[in-house]
Structure 1
Amino acid sequence: MNFQQLEYIIAIDKYRHFVKAAEACFVTQATLSMMIKKLEEELDVKIFDRSKQPVVPTEIGKKIILQAKITVQEAKKIKELVSEEQDKISGEFRIGIIPTLAPYLLPLFLPSYLKNYPFVKVQISELTTEEIIKRLERNEIDVGILATPLENNMLVEKPLFYEQFVIYASKEEKFMNKKYLLAEDIDINRLWLLEEGHCLRSQVINLCELKSKEKEVHQLDFAAASIETLRKIVEINNGITIIPSLALADMTEKQMQNIRHFKNPAPVREISLVTYRHFIKEKLLLSLENEILKVIPSEMKNSIKKEILKIN
């Protein structure tokens, strides 16, 4: 038995297909199949049921794969520990970030991060909160950048900043003559939301207490996949949406006329770096934190003390 064989059975479990697993491991399917067969002969068990498509692990195979993941992960920590002790910050850094944050935060810090840490290989995936949590638990990413709290004792949250929500509305809305608004000023029957699966949708629902109010159906039944789409819908079909303040950075002067701010205490979402509890790439995590905080406005950082209303 060797680590290569353990990595192969992990890949097959992930892809449930020998050819795809072989491609992911950069070996031929014949080589991968032969190595798996040797491992099964050595252990005198069948790890995979090849009679089913897609291929699935046997009951004993599931237990072996779980232990293989633990073994491979722990072995990788040896190299990571050595890297952490060296002055040079290097290595692979896998980052997951939610879609309502990625288009606005990444352009702010990523260019300087890549320049300042040339020996770090950065892999970024735009994922929903639920998917980030799953991948952290499976050790498929190192850190998530997302809205918290998550209330998951397997994860460690490190708050970075608090991002205010603002209102984006058509000029037809009655409240547009006001400078500051309250949540109750919003007509929920004219409110456009992101599709299910986005944490921002849940936060807006909680802010506007939609669960406790009746909501009529728009003539156009539409759930957007992005903040940019929400803005377009408001501009084309009128109505209201609620967006995070970093999304204001790329707006035109004309679009900014559609923005209204909430009256204090302003509703905000907490943005954090989230890692699995056994995470050890502390220097890489600190480098990411520092680069993000360099570009975030001072009033948004978690060190400030101001009247806010945190929305979960």
Structure 2
Amino acid sequence: MTLTQLEYIVSVDTYRHFATAAEHCHVTQPTLSMQIQKLEDELGILIFDRSKQPVVPTETGQVILAQAREVVQAARRIPELVKESKNEISGELRLGLIPTLAPYLLPYFIRSFIGKYPAVTVHVHELLTDQVIDKLKNGMLDVGIVVTPLPDSGLREFPLFYEPFMLYTSPAHPLYQRDRVTADDLLTDGLWLLSEGHCFRNQVMNLCGQPLRGAQPLRYETGSLETLMKIIDKQDGFTLIPYLATLDMPTERLTRVKPFVDPQPVREVSLVTHRSYLKKGLIDALQQEVLGHMPAELNRWEKGMVVSL
């Protein structure tokens, strides 16, 4: 059994395709397949069920793969320890952000981070929370910035800030006349929501506290808050948006933003890593950069009425 063989089976498990795994490992598919076959022969079991497409691990294979991932992670940690001992910040950083954070938070810190650490190549992926979790677990991401807490003990969370929810309404809607709103106001007819799978949608539903009524005559599935706001501008209704989305709004739009009464509902935004995460120096540097460049207005909110996923 070799470390290379373990890396190969982990890669196949990640991509569920031998050819893709071989490409990722920079070897030919026959080479990768032969090494995995040798490992299976040595262990006397099948790690993968090749009769299914995409390929899936066998029941015993799942146990072996879990241990193989830990071994591979531990081996990859060694060069990272050397970099940390030399205070080197370099290499690749694969970052995942959810769509309701990426366009509003990323511009505050990414340019400064890249300028401060020119030896780092940053790959940013805009993904749903479940996708960030999956990719952290299979090693395809180094770190995520998502809304927490998450129901997963295999991940580590490092809270960054608490961000309040704001209501965005059409001037034609009765809520436009309100200075502040309450959670009960969300039960008013006209609420637009993001499509299924977005944690922001789940938080809005939880904030309501009971089933919504008054479905819109138009059912529009979107993952874009900007799209919802533009529909509301031209049509009617209201939605919830994160506070960061209001900071660059033109004055005309700001009149349509209504804060909640105290205590204001907030969401907890955190850096998230795998429990045995690599690249600690890089991730620590990223955390400091985010904290050092996030809008000062966010400092006024503390953990209070956190709305769960």
TM-score norm. by structure 1 comes to 0.89
Task: Quote the residue 1:162 is aligned against.
Answer: 162
- In 1, the alpha carbon distance for the partners of 2:211 and 2:182 equals 16
Task: Quote the residue 1:129 is aligned against.
Answer: 129
Which deviates more from structure 2 when the two are superposed, residues 267-276 or residues 254-263? 254-263
Task: Quote the residue 1:234 is aligned against.
Answer: 232
Gaps of 5+ in 2: none
Q: Deviations over 1:41-78 (max 9, x none)?
A: 44444433434433333444333333322211111111
User: Partner amino acid for 1:223?
Assistant: E
Matched, 1:3 2:31: no
Task: Quote the residue 1:310 is aligned against.
Answer: 306
1:184-203 paired onto structure 2 within 5 Å: 184-203=184-203
Task: Quote the residue 2:223 is aligned against.
Answer: 225
SS at 2:305's partner residue? strand
- In 2, the alpha carbon distance for the partners of 1:247 and 1:280 equals 32
1:238-277 paired onto structure 2 within 5 Å: 238-277=236-275
Which deviates more from structure 2 when the two are superposed, residues 235-244 or residues 5-14? 5-14
- In 2, the alpha carbon distance for the partners of 1:300 and 1:221 equals 33
Task: Quote the residue 2:87 is aligned against.
Answer: 87
- Count, aligned residues: 308
- Asked if the contact 2:169/2:175 (under 8 Å) is kept, the reply is no
- In 2, the alpha carbon distance for the partners of 1:86 and 1:233 equals 53
Q: 1:164 to 1:29 in 2, by over 3 A?
A: same
- Asked if the contact 1:267/1:311 (under 8 Å) is kept, the reply is yes
- In 1, the alpha carbon distance for the partners of 2:125 and 2:222 equals 20
Q: 1:86 to 1:268 in 2, by over 3 A?
A: same
2:214 aligns with one of 213, 216, 225: 216
- Asked if the contact 1:136/1:275 (under 8 Å) is kept, the reply is yes
Q: 1:263 to 1:6 in 2, by over 3 A?
A: same
SS at 1:269's partner residue? strand
Q: Deviations over 1:173-211 (max 9, x none)?
A: 1232232222333453210011111111111112222xx
- In 2, the alpha carbon distance for the partners of 1:307 and 1:144 equals 20
Q: 1:299 to 1:42 in 2, by over 3 A?
A: same
Structure 1 residue ranges (4+ consecutive) displaced by more than 4 angstroms after TM superposition: 304-308
SS at 1:156's partner residue? strand
Q: Deviations over 1:1-22 (max 9, x none)?
A: 3222222222222333222222
Q: 1:309 to 1:68 in 2, by over 3 A?
A: closer
- In 2, the alpha carbon distance for the partners of 1:72 and 1:138 equals 11
Task: Quote the residue 2:178 is aligned against.
Answer: 178
- Asked if the contact 2:162/2:301 (under 8 Å) is kept, the reply is no
Task: Quote the residue 1:22 is aligned against.
Answer: 22
SS at 1:110's partner residue? helix
- In 1, the alpha carbon distance for the partners of 2:287 and 2:186 equals 35
- Asked if the contact 1:94/1:143 (under 8 Å) is kept, the reply is yes
- In 2, the alpha carbon distance for the partners of 1:287 and 1:121 equals 13
Task: Quote the residue 2:100 is aligned against.
Answer: 100
- In 1, the alpha carbon distance for the partners of 2:58 and 2:206 equals 44
Task: Quote the residue 2:290 is aligned against.
Answer: 292
- Asked if the contact 1:166/1:243 (under 8 Å) is kept, the reply is yes
Q: 1:117 to 1:9 in 2, by over 3 A?
A: same
Q: 1:195 to 1:135 in 2, by over 3 A?
A: same
Gaps of 5+ in 1: none
Q: Deviations over 1:189-241 (max 9, x none)?
A: 210011111111111112222xx245122211223211111112212321000
SS at 1:8's partner residue? helix
User: Partner amino acid for 2:280?
Assistant: E
CA positional deviation for 1:306: 6.2
